[in-house]
Structure 1
Amino acid sequence: MRQVRVPDVRSDQLRSGSEVAIARDAAISERLAAIPASDHAKFHGMLWSIVEGP
């Protein structure tokens, strides 16, 4: 069996990951805020139908 070395994660790499997650969440929030309030229920229903599947 072949073995691979998995490098340790440094603290600066963890911080970079956190910064990416924060930027991602901000972008998602910005996009969701663009949905008119009158369409929120329809949008959530559509997302729920995707989660439930066919």
Structure 2
Amino acid sequence: MAQARVRSGELRRVLNAWCLPPEPAWAVFLGRRLMPSKTRAFIEMLEAALKTE
């Protein structure tokens, strides 16, 4: 949400060495057998967005 303001210099990081500790996230669903394709796509998007590599 703040990327444009960070790029413009309006916002800047002041505690460079500090960041939030990693926190696990869970996607809970009944099963994969009858999962709607939109649900599968959403879960895959979350996996990619939250990847910590």
State the TM-score, normalizing by the size of structure 1.
0.34
Q: Considering fraction of residues, name the structure with more helix.
A: 1
State the TM-score, normalizing by the size of structure 2.
0.35
The structure number with the bigger radius of gyration is 1
Tell which has more relative contact order, 1 or 2 (C-alpha 8 A, sep 6+): 2
